[in-house]
Amino acid sequence: MCTLALLAAGLLTLAPALHVEETRMEPTKKRLLVVTHTAGFRHADSIELGEKILAEIGARSGVFEVDYCRDAGDVQKMLTPEYLNNGKYDGVVFLNTTGDIGVPDLPAFLEWLQTGKAFIGVHAAADTYHNRPEYLEMVQGQFAYHGQQTKVEAKVEQPDHPAVAHLAPTWSVFDEIYIFKENNRKHVMVLLSLDKHPDDGTPQAGKPGDHLLAWCREYGKGRVFYTALGHRLDVWQSEAYQRHLLGGIVWALRLQETGAVKLE
């Protein structure tokens, strides 16, 4: 029996609102492998900061710890069935990965996720593996284009979900806003969306539409959480975004359901 840190309203970072309560839980933290290798455009600054902030979120919340998979050699070693099936990792974060990052056996990696693991995709995770339908089916989003960075009013569609409960009913955020090749609303639980095209300087700017920004889904026995936000450094540094990420991670790891984490 042990005492664990439980998350309350201000969950992390800027506002130290971690509450300690008695609960009957296993003492081990979850462990995530943060993948930041790129084979296309590299968001160098946001990757560097994102690695740091994910570690801080995990440490301050008491929920998870992280290891890093940063280059082609790491991918060849760490994203293999032999390495992943050792039971060390509870999931992965694809942090602004791009292109064909060279997972040695992508079907086996996806099968590993379906055994009950968590996949957390951030921003350019949807600009990854355009050539592999099985990856795109998993993440349910394929980047098409973006215009200039702009402010949007994102609608919270699931106000009880831990990734967006603190944002309801809308979230005003300035970032690089992705437009996707397909609208996969029918295949996912939409968390954040826009009811018009972002005012990004493109010919479609301001036109009515349904544009998804964040979603989640079941994937076999595993779970997928994706957010299109995470380009700008000030977004990463904001408490709202960090709570958005932590809530998505908590959901993907099924921690709310087991009672390991309580988001109020």
The neighbour count for residue 85, using CB atoms within 10 Å, is 12
Residue 264 lies in a domain: no
Residue 200 lies in a domain: yes
Residue 10 main-chain phi, psi, to 5 deg: -100, 25
| CATH value at residue 57 | 3.40.50.880
5 touches 22 (CB < 8 A): no
User: Number of structural domains, the chain?
Assistant: 1
Q: Output the pLDDT for position 76.
A: 97
What are all long-range contacts of 181-187, with beta carbons under 8 Å and residues at least 24 apart? 181/142, 181/143, 181/144, 182/142, 183/210, 183/211, 183/212, 184/140, 184/141, 184/212, 184/215, 185/210, 185/212, 187/140, 187/217
Residue 263 lies in a domain: no
Q: Output the pLDDT for position 28.
A: 79
Query: Which structure tokens are listed for 186?
Result: 């029918």
Q: Output the pLDDT for position 257.
A: 62
Residue 149 lies in a domain: yes
Distance, in Å, from the CA atom of 182 to the CA atom of 192, rounded to the nearest integer, reads 16
Q: What is the DSSP letter of 114?
A: H
Residue 165 lies in a domain: yes
β-strands 179-180, 143-145 pairing: antiparallel
Residue 210 lies in a domain: yes
Q: Output the pLDDT for position 88.
A: 95
**Residue pointed to by tokens 């977004």:** 235
Residue 219 lies in a domain: yes
Tell me which residue range forms the domain holding 62: 2-258
Q: Output the pLDDT for position 210.
A: 98
Q: Output the pLDDT for position 256.
A: 77
pLDDT per residue, tens digit, the chain (264 aa), is 343 333 433 444 444 433 333 333 444 799 999 999 999 999 999 999 999 999 999 999 999 999 999 999 999 999 999 999 999 999 999 999 999 999 999 999 999 999 999 999 999 999 999 999 999 999 999 999 999 999 999 999 999 999 999 998 999 999 999 999 999 999 999 999 999 999 999 999 999 999 999 999 999 999 999 999 999 999 999 999 999 999 999 999 999 765 555 444
Q: Output the pLDDT for position 261.
A: 52
